[in-house]
Amino acid sequence: MSQKVECPVCCHAFHPSVISEHVNMCLNNEEQDIDQTLTVAMEPDSKKRKSSDWSFLSMNKRSECKKKCDQATHEQKICSSSSKTEESASLPGISQKSANVNGQSSNNIPLAERMRPQSFENFVGQENSEGKQSLLMQVLSHSNHLPSLILHGPPGCGKTTFAKIIAHKVKAKGNIKFVTLSATTCSVSDVKEVAKVAANDLKMLHRRTVLFLDEIHRFNKSQQDTLLPYVEDGTLTLIGATTENPSFHVNSALLSRCRIVTFDKLNMDSVKKIITRALTLLGVSLITPGEATSTENPELTDSDRPSALGMEVEAVDTLAGLVDGDARAALNGLQLSIEGLLARESQISNSKLTITPAVVREALQRSHILYDKSGEEHYNTVSALIKSMRGSDASAALYWMTRMLEGGENPLFIARRLVIFASEDIDISPVSLSSGVAWFKKW
């Protein structure tokens, strides 16, 4: 139970969450009392007697204020208990029939959000840097001290899930508050407001605050400088997530105060585990070439479980290979495959519906390729193309060039790089430069 705080005006004890509102009400009431006293003092005696005759209709404002604050405290307890119920409803193995998030039913929440693990035991991937025996995991599991972190990695590799698991663990301890902001929607004033509340909590309640700032690279350098004093004096413990290289997009002074945790792209085995776990929780059977293995979850209700639905193992392999290590894209593709198959064939046949590789390819339309126009992945792919040609590996060169074209790269850029390569690396060949120039002119 949290410690109550005494009001400096009326000397009554209240819950810390409503003490600020109560103090403001007390101060406003005192100002009104002073104004009324001055008004009455300036009135004639006849009006004073007339107003005193109706004094039995006046109310004790401070008792009314206390009653309102107690009611607000009671409502806050109800809200906190309902939020805990929502968190427990989202845990694996518990029915999600009544689970609501932000007033939405669980059916309206994307599958990728519903499948987020709540503990590190169910966290898949990143065995090298975030494995159970790593130093960081030992600190997070057994220590009350949480260092400031910058989580860096491609989309869908588990950065936000990692931060939410940390939030779940620190909330269980009770002496740490977890606040989530996104640099795409918040401003510097929001960060300062969080820091102001965190300073008061640390001073009055000895409770630390962890700030998770998603897409931190969307803040410019001056906006990131706002975080420096709060991270340095311990007012805030910062956990930032970014898909860009933090050396280029995060302030160096902020980097020196945080530990950079690099998340790698998920391999196919990790993506398969995530898909299989989603199939288990959805009650979809996994069909092998020679047998059918049911993975139905008995805790799910009939409305949550797709009836008579299965997925071939080959379709799982196809889905894991097309998403290029993006677990979010894999789960969204799985959801689209299930919904599309049910909408198309549920009215035609009552037999068991099967998700095949063809259904997966139709749902995704094209493979998911991580590629950006001017970011780090752009130059990594160009470098791989040049090195493949220098090593006389024609297959690898064709692969990287096709990957660039599928990612939306301008063919003129590729042609220009080939002309440069022909003139610098194989200038002794009589036809290489002319071939590169001819291809460049064609575009």
Which pLDDT value is given to residue 174?
73
d(CA 141, CA 139): 6
d(CA 227, CA 161): 23
Residue 145: DSSP 8-state: -
Average pLDDT over residues 13-27: 75
* Statement: residue 53 has pLDDT above 70: no
The contacts of residue 88 (CB under 8 Å, 6+ apart) are 94
Q: Work out the pLDDT band at 42, boundaries 50, 70, 90.
A: very low
Which strand (E) or helix (H) includes residue 88?
helix 61-89
Q: Work out the pLDDT band at 399, boundaries 50, 70, 90.
A: confident
Higher per-residue confidence, 244 vs 96: 244
* Statement: residue 52 has pLDDT above 50: no
d(CA 224, CA 240): 11
Say if CB 313 and CB 289 are below 8 A apart: yes
> Which of 42-51, 81-90, 332-341, 351-360 is the most confident on average?
332-341
Which of the following CATH numbers is that of domain 376-442: 3.10.450.50, 3.40.50.620, 1.20.272.10, 3.30.450.20?
1.20.272.10
Which pLDDT value is given to residue 25?
79
Q: Which of 120, 205, 239 is CA-nearest to residue 168?
A: 120
Residue 260: burial class (beta carbons within 10 Å; 0-12, 13-18, 19+): middle
Q: In what order do the strands lie in the sheet with 259-262?
A: 176-182, 208-214, 236-242, 149-152, 259-262
Axis crossing angle, helix 19-42 with helix 61-89, rounded to the nearest 10: 160
Fold held by 268-364: Helicase, Ruva Protein; domain 3 (1.10.8)
Average pLDDT over residues 324-328: 88
Mean residue pLDDT of the chain comes to 75
Least confident interval from 42-46, 153-157, 205-209, 439-443: 42-46
d(CA 418, CA 422): 6
Average pLDDT over residues 350-359: 78
* Statement: residue 49 has pLDDT above 50: no
Average pLDDT over residues 69-78: 50
pLDDT tens digit sequence for 380-397 = 888 888 888 888 888 888
Backbone angles phi, psi at 104, to 5 degrees: -110, 145
Say if CB 161 and CB 116 are below 8 A apart: yes
Q: Where are the domains of the chain?
A: 1-51+62-68, 112-262, 268-364, 376-442
Which pLDDT value is given to residue 142?
64
Which pLDDT value is given to residue 195?
93
Average pLDDT over residues 199-203: 90
Say if CB 243 and CB 262 are below 8 A apart: no
- Domain 112-262, architecture per CATH: 3-Layer(aba) Sandwich (3.40)
Which pLDDT value is given to residue 272?
92
pLDDT tens digit sequence for 261-312 = 888 889 899 999 999 999 988 888 888 876 544 444 444 444 444 456 888 8
pLDDT tens digit sequence for 160-192 = 998 888 888 877 777 888 899 999 899 999 999
Higher per-residue confidence, 414 vs 84: 414
Which pLDDT value is given to residue 7?
76
Looking at the whole model, is its pTM more than 0.85? no
d(CA 335, CA 412): 37
Kindly state the tokens that stand for 77. 């307890």
Q: What are the start-end ranges of the H helices in 283-352?
A: 313-322, 327-345
Q: Which of 80, 115, 77 is CA-nearest to residue 96?
A: 115
Positive or negative: CA dihedral 181, 183, 184, 186: positive
Kindly state the tokens that stand for 287. 């069909």
Q: Work out the pLDDT band at 128, boundaries 50, 70, 90.
A: low
d(CA 443, CA 438): 9
Percentage, residues of the chain above pLDDT 90: 15
